[in-house]
Each structure stands twice: as C-alpha cells, then as structure tokens.
Amino acid sequence: MSDQHKFLLDESKLPKAWYNINADMPVPPQPVLHPGTMQPVTPDFLGVLFPMNLIMQEISPERWIEIPEPVREIYKLWRPTPMYRALRLEKALDTPAHIYYKYEGVSPVGSHKPNTAVAQAFFNKEAGTKALTTETGAGQWGSALAMACNFFGLDLEVYMVKVSYHQKPYRRIIMEDFGAQVFASPTDRTQYGKSVLAGDPNSPGSLGIAISEAVEVAATSNGAKKYSLGSVLGHVLMHQTVVGLEALQQMEMAGEYPDMVIGCIGGGSNFAGFAYPFLWKKFTEKKPIRVIAVEPTACPSVTQGKYTFDFGDTAAMAPIVKMYTLGHTFVPPGIHAGGLRYHGMAPSVSALVDHGDIEGRAVKQVPVFEAAVQFSQAEGIIAAPESAHAIRVAIDEALECKKTGQKKVIAFNLSGHGHFDMGAYEQFLHGQLQDYEYPAEKVAEAMTHLPQVPAMA
C-alpha cells in the first residue's frame, strides 16, 4: 500500500455488464402490487409506464446484464470516474483511518445520475418510445435525463419539486438547455396537481407529488409517453453498479479493501450503485464489510419509517411495493438535500436493511454542512448537500478510529458536486440553516393511510 492518492482506470476497464443483485439477494423478492386490486402486477400493467426491455431487467434473475455498446460509448464521456484517497482530510482529522472516495461529480451534469439516465433513454429509444415524463427533486436527475434524451432524440417533460424549482434555478436551466420542458410541481397540468393546489395553493411539493404528476401524464397519454424514474426501482439501481464495479478495481489498485462503505440514501440509487458490488463480494466470497446508508433526520425513512407495503407516490396511482416508508402522504420540510426527500426507500435496499446487511443512520443538516465545508477545505471539492451526508458519517467513523486507534479503511461515494447549491452553502456559512427532525407523531399519523394489503399466501 502506497501513499498514492489518485486511482484512475483507463477506458478498457469500463465494466461491460451491470451487476444485478437479484441473483444474490439473501431474502426472496416481495411482490409488486397493483394500486387498485392489491394483486401482483402483470408486465402488461407496468408496460403502460415502462418499455418491456426495462421491465424484463427489473425481474431478471441473471447476475450480469450486458451494457449495450451505445451506452458504453456515452459513458466514456466521463467514465471510468476517479477514486481518491483523502490524504489531506486524514491529516486534518489526525486519524489512523484510510479514507477513499469515488467521485461521480465529473459527469457532464455533475452527478451519478447519467449512469441510469443514458441507459433508460437508450432502452426507451430501442423500444420505440418518442417521449418521456419524469420527476426531479434537486434537479440532478432531471438534468441527467434531459441530457440523455437529447442524445437519443427523445422529448422530455420534467415535474420538478416546487421548493427546489425556486431554490435551484440553474438546474432547471440546464434541463431547458438540453431541450426539456420543466414544470414546478404541483402544477395545474394534471388532475392530481390541481387537487393538491386546491387543498394547499402554497404547497412546496414533494417527490411523491411530482412522481404522481409524471405518472399521470404518462398513464393518460395512450402510449405516447413513457415514465422514467431516477431511483428506487431495481433496474435503476442496477445501472448504477458501474460505480461500485469500478471502485472494486480501484481499491485493488490501492492495495486495500474497505472495512466499510458509505453512501447517502434518498431513493437508494447512488448508494446501491456503490455498495451492491461490495455486497456481491460479501454474499459470494464471504468478504466481510459494513455497509452504511445515511439519510437526513428530516426524512428518516429507514431509521424511523415502517417496513411495509406502501404506494410509490402520493396520489396512490403508482404500484405498491414493500419498503421502508414514512407514508405516501409524507410532505417533507424544505431541507437543502432535495434529492433525499422521498417518502420511501428502494425495495431491495429496504429488504437488505431489514435483513441486517445494511445499517441505516440519520444525520442532521447543520453537521452535514460542517462536514461538507471541512471536506472542501481539505480536498478542494464542494460536495452536493446529498453527498455530504456520506461525508459526515465517513468523518464520524474516522474520528471513532482516532479514538480507538484502529486503522480502518473507509470508502464512500461522493455522488455529485455542489456547484448549483451555493444558496444552501450561503445559508450555512451565515448561520441561517436549521436542524430539523421529522416528528415521530407525523410518521404515526401517515401510517394510518397505508394501503390495506391482503395477507400474502
């Protein structure tokens, strides 16, 4: 092991297949249920929203799904991404721990999101889709899908959570630059949006509401539009595993293997993309590893939610899945980690948390920004607020090593840069950010609105 700090792969090392954790899950998959009948969905029902090639990926038991050559060619615009050892941060913390981070902020739109956006646009184009609808929180997903749709000649409508639409105008402009139409959700363009505005004309919106609008537009388009999701679903998480598969090679270059891997969670995509290949090694080669998923205390689905069946959206139009949920009626506070404001968690991540393979941890907003600033002053990268949740726990674990004298290897996913999040950093630096813990009684109230799912045979 050297004191090298940068681990770069050439294009020949770009993975040729995604890793599909379905093949190695230690618990059987739970059914996806129809929101009306509460019975397991058919591919035909899902086909209203998604092309059949993506539906087949969702249910595939194959461990490896080939990455099509046109997708790999676009990946080469920024992949493989670098992995760094944070030597300056280690020194600042005076820790015996070795800290590594995979940096996804080098993509054209500044985050990990194009890994699945490009794939989804490709598979939709291949299936004959002409237009897509989607939602976005902070705008990272919307930006990525707008770029991908532009590359493949698809039209795109983006329903952007209203509080983020106003907090992050430059992300909206990026989407518009790539040719997408962007609407502040809730809108008056959909029946569901109108009903939300009738109840609360000043609704800040939520990812659940934006999903409902995007789903409604696709579902009522008579097949003219399909829906695209940036997280949560199995095929989305699988497309992201290109991140962790590269990281495995880069840790080998470093001559070390992580004792723990860390990622932030909203719906689960960047976290799973980084962590699942390490879990593959654990499940198939018995390589021990701690896997830590970090969420905001303002939206604590894994640490305070219930593991149960719930709707994927607020309007109860999307399929019902078993996941950690705060209740589909959850409307989060306007914290700055806009990409982490979803009411639920990816079903596969949820199942692995419940099984004990993944640890959930919730952190407060102010300490997250403290960690982000400390990281930027040591390593020179200003992180997205979402990614900074992983930085917070990486620093906490490194400080624990300092206390105990243990020399652990810590690796985390720095899933995007924060260049469009200066408003949040300005508020933090001027002492205007506040911590927020989502009240347990609100979670309990939301649980009264769960779907009444019949007992599974």
- Residue 263 three-state SS: strand
Query: Phi and psi for 319 in degrees, rounded to 5?
Result: -55, 155
C-alpha 254: how far from chain center: 27
> CA-to-CA distance for 264 and 270, rounded, in angstroms?
7
| Per-residue model confidence (pLDDT) at position 441 | 87
Q: Quick one: which of 292, 253, 322 has its CA closest to 389?
A: 292
| Per-residue model confidence (pLDDT) at position 340 | 67
| Per-residue model confidence (pLDDT) at position 317 | 80
Identify the burial level of 21 via C-beta atoms within 10 angstroms of its C-beta, where 0-12 means exposed, 13-18 middle and 19 or more buried: buried
β-pairing, 6-7 vs 83-85, is antiparallel
> CA-to-CA distance for 178 and 141, rounded, in angstroms?
13
Amino acid at 202: N
Helix (H) or strand (E) holding 324: strand 320-325
Helix (H) or strand (E) holding 426: helix 422-429
β-pairing, 306-311 vs 320-325, is antiparallel
Q: Quick one: which of 63, 61, 52, 66 has its CA closest to 29?
A: 61
Q: Following DSSP, what letter does each residue of 184-230 receive, concatenated?
A: EES-SSSHHHHHHHHH-TT----HHHHHHHHHHHHHTTTTSEEE--S
CATH 3.90.230.10 describes domain 6-14+67-110+236-449: no
The ranges of the chain with pLDDT < 70 are 1-3, 332-341, 456-457
Is the separation of the CB atoms in 375 and 103 below 8 Å?
no
Query: Phi and psi for 53 in degrees, rounded to 5?
Result: -65, -35
| Per-residue model confidence (pLDDT) at position 239 | 98
| Per-residue model confidence (pLDDT) at position 457 | 43
Strand order in the sheet with 6-7: 6-7, 83-85, 98-103, 409-414, 260-264, 290-296, 359-363
Three-point CA angle 376, 206, 204, nearest 5° = 90
| Per-residue model confidence (pLDDT) at position 1 | 45
Helices (H) and strands (E) in the chain, counts: 19, 15
- Half-sphere exposure (Cβ direction) of 345: Cα atoms closer than 13 Å: 31
> CA-to-CA distance for 138 and 140, rounded, in angstroms?
6
Domain boundaries, the chain: 6-14+67-110+236-449
C-alpha 374: how far from chain center: 24
> CA-to-CA distance for 347 and 436, rounded, in angstroms?
26
Read off the pTM. 0.95
Query: Phi and psi for 308 in degrees, rounded to 5?
Result: -160, 175
